[in-house]
Chains A and B, each alone.
Chain A
Amino acid sequence: MKPLQLILGHVGGVLLLMTRTLRFAPTLPRQSRRFIEQCYLIGYTSLPIVTILSFFIGSSLALQAGYSMEHLGTKQFIGTLVGLSMARELGPVMVAILIAGRVGSAITAELASMKVYQEIDALVTMNISPERILVLPRLAAILVMMPVLALIANLCGWYGGALVCQYTHFISVDSEAYFAALKRYMEWQDIANGLFKAEVFGFVIVLVCCYIGLNTRGGPREIGLSVTKAVVTSLILVLVLNYFVTKALL
């Protein structure tokens, strides 16, 4: 019973943090500097790794697909496979995994050290809500940046696949045919579903990482433990949520 109570307690804590934070949403225009700074940290600085990762995921997908589809005589559908896989699944999921590791860990480490070194207590005594100045700008920034990152991941994956198809001798599907196949079976809805998933994952990652960071007690060791806990929890939640959101969107 105790572990279940603990989990329910944490779920309640995250929901409480969410409602407290969203209550301050009207103050966001006043916090534009913090919001832009977070957009830069979450979005812009993640761009290189998102680009590289998704390019090679698209490339590997095309390579594997080309190898298998050559035997089946369905090479002309590689573009469709890579396009839909990236847009509906791999783009949002891989970006979410990357954001959990790169941004989620940084958020937890920062907030946990602020908590441990009493900076959060100092804010509370000054009657400045940590939810307003620490959580809200991060939450707003992730909601803006996640679809952008997922879209860039899609494009990079598609182009990675196209390059592999064109220059790998046993595939030899030119870019025109590849993109024609990609467009033929792709609908705007497929892309929109992927972006929606990315949005959900980003929202959950930031909330969970902020919650764990703000509830850290102890010293440097606990900060490290909180970061590990936040990243692992975020990854599990992303993969579990992915199934249910995908099912709901089908």
Chain B
Amino acid sequence: MSTFTATPFADKTFGVTITSLSKRFGDVTVLDNINLEIKPGEIFCLMGPSGSGKSVLLKHIVGLELPTSGQVHIGDFDAADPETRARVHIAMVFQAGALFNSLSVYDNLALYPREHQLCNEAGIRERVMSNLAMLSLEDAANKFPSELSGGMKKRVAIARALVIEPQLLIYDEPTSELDPVMSATITEIIATLREQTAVTSIVVTHDRDLALNIADRIAIIMDGRIHATGTPAEFREPTDPTIADFLSPVIDTKNPRFRNLKG
């Protein structure tokens, strides 16, 4: 059992305000007039079909993409300004982990405190090992990413995000490609982390169980637009047929959906 006590970030968490955000790649509009308010300390789930613009929206929040029009603010800071990343500790758990393949798990976690000269090697070791212990990954410290299973990679990616002591934690499909038990484990980790650190968590997911169980609020994005926002209770028995079909699709082999797909 881990003895890790997370640093309380409660007084430092940041909310996110997205105002009239649009993004076009050439002639294709990927995001169209998105308006969202994510409160400090909440778990906010973004759901939607593949290709609806969820990941692009996340990239705008962390400043990896610049808006065609509109703005994203983290607290009072403009997300498009590179200086914001120096002011706000933002961590992102990428869909495929994005672990540095040439570094061991330990060095993956140690990179951030080393590069920002946050403490000496002993301090870095303590910080890294406590985060690995929190996710039961102590034995994987000397392994390389290529030696890890999918679930372990996700947990290492979360541990690496935690080393940053984030004030805004963003997950891009954290339970994709995982078995149901590991998905539940990751879901529990996300909820526990918020409980322990009060960090604002934005989760892009297709996982209905994750969203309905741990989210404070959910937004459904379709074709680059926010289709609906609400609490998990509001989405448990949706009246909107599109949302109902998205959250609880009925498998009909007599009249398969793919025959009616466009493009």
Bound-complex Cα distance A128 to B98 (A)? 14
Check: A106 CB closer than 8 A to any chain B CB.
no
For the residues of A in contact with B, the DSSP-based class is helix
Binds A, one of B110-118, B123-131, B136-144, B175-183: B110-118
User: Any chain B CB within 8 A of the CB of A125?
Assistant: yes
A127 to B167, CA, bound (A): 14
Which among B44-52, B86-94, B240-248 touches the partner chain?
A: B86-94
C-alpha spacing A119/B96, complex, angstroms: 10
CB pair B91–A125 under 8 Å, yes or no, is yes
- For B116, the chain A residues whose CB sits under 8 A away are 127-128
Question: Please, how many angstroms separate the alpha-carbon atoms of A118 and B160 in the complex?
Answer: 14
The residue in A117, A118, A121, A126 that gathers the most chain B C-beta atoms within 10 A of its C-beta is: A126
Q: Is the CB of A126 within 8 A of B98?
A: no
Report Cα–Cα, A171/B216, bound state, in Å.
88
How would you classify the secondary structure of chain B's contact residues: helix, strand, loop or mixed? mixed
Q: Which residues of A contact B (CB under 8 A)?
A: 114, 117-119, 121-122, 124-128, 133
Q: Which residues of A contact B100 (CB under 8 A)?
A: 114, 119, 122
Q: Which residues of B contact A117 (CB under 8 A)?
A: 96, 98, 101
Please name the 7 residue pairs, one residue from A and one from B, whose CB atoms are nearest each other, closest first.
A118-B98, A122-B98, A127-B85, A125-B92, A128-B115, A118-B94, A125-B62
Residues of A within 8 A of B92 (CB): 121-122, 125
Q: Can you list 21 A-B contacts with CB-CB less than 8 angstroms, sorted by A residue number?
A: A117-B96, A118-B96, A118-B98, A119-B99, A119-B100, A119-B101, A121-B59, A121-B94, A121-B98, A124-B64, A124-B85, A125-B64, A125-B85, A125-B91, A125-B92, A126-B91, A126-B111, A126-B115, A128-B115, A128-B116, A133-B115
Query: Does B135 reach chain A (CB closer than 8 Å)?
Result: no
Q: How far is the CA of A114 from the CA of B85 in the complex (A)?
A: 20
B164 at the interface (CB under 8 A from A): yes
CB distance from A71 to the nearest CB of B (A): 57
Minimum CB–CB distance for A218 against chain B, Å: 14
The tally of CB-CB contacts under 8 A between chains A and B is 45
B98 lies within 8 A of A119 (CB): yes
Interface size bracket, B side? 20 to 34
For B164, give the chain A residue with the smallest CB separation: A126
| Most chain A beta-carbon neighbours within 10 Å: one of B85, B86, B115 | B115
CA distance A114 to B103 in the complex (A): 12
Q: What is the CB-to-nearest-CB distance from A234 to chain B, in angstroms, rounded to a whole number?
A: 23
Assembly CA distance A133 to B115 (angstroms): 9
Question: Does A128 contact B111, Cβ atoms closer than 8 Å?
Answer: yes
From B170, which residue of chain A is reached at the shortest CB distance?
A125
Give every chain B residue within 8 A of A133 (Cβ-Cβ): 115
Q: Give Cα distance in the complex from A125 to B94, angstroms.
A: 11
CA A114 – CA B101 in complex, angstroms? 9
A133-B63 Cα distance, complex, nearest whole Å: 20
A139 to chain B, nearest CB (A): 18
Contacts of B101 in A (CB 8 A): 117, 119
Chain A residues in 8 Å Cβ range of B98: 117-119, 121-122
Which chain B positions have C-beta within 8 A of A122?
Answer: 92, 94, 98-100
Shortest beta-carbon distance from B213 to chain A in Å: 27
A127-B86 in contact given A119-B100, A119-B101 (Cβ < 8 Å): yes
The smallest C-beta distance from A108 to any residue of chain B, in angstroms, reads 16
Min Cβ gap A173→B in Å is 51
Given pairs A119-B101, A121-B59, A122-B92, 10 additional interface contacts (CB within 8 A): A119-B98, A121-B64, A121-B92, A121-B98, A122-B100, A125-B62, A126-B115, A127-B86, A127-B116, A128-B112
What distance in Å separates the Cβ of B172 from its nearest Cβ neighbour in chain A?
9
Which residues does chain A contribute within 8 Å of B94, judged by CB atoms? 118, 121-122
Closest to A30 in B: B117
Q: Which of B86, B98, B100 has the most CB of A within 10 A?
A: B98
What distance in Å separates the Cβ of A223 from its nearest Cβ neighbour in chain B? 13
Cα of A124 to Cα of B59 in the assembled complex, Å:
11
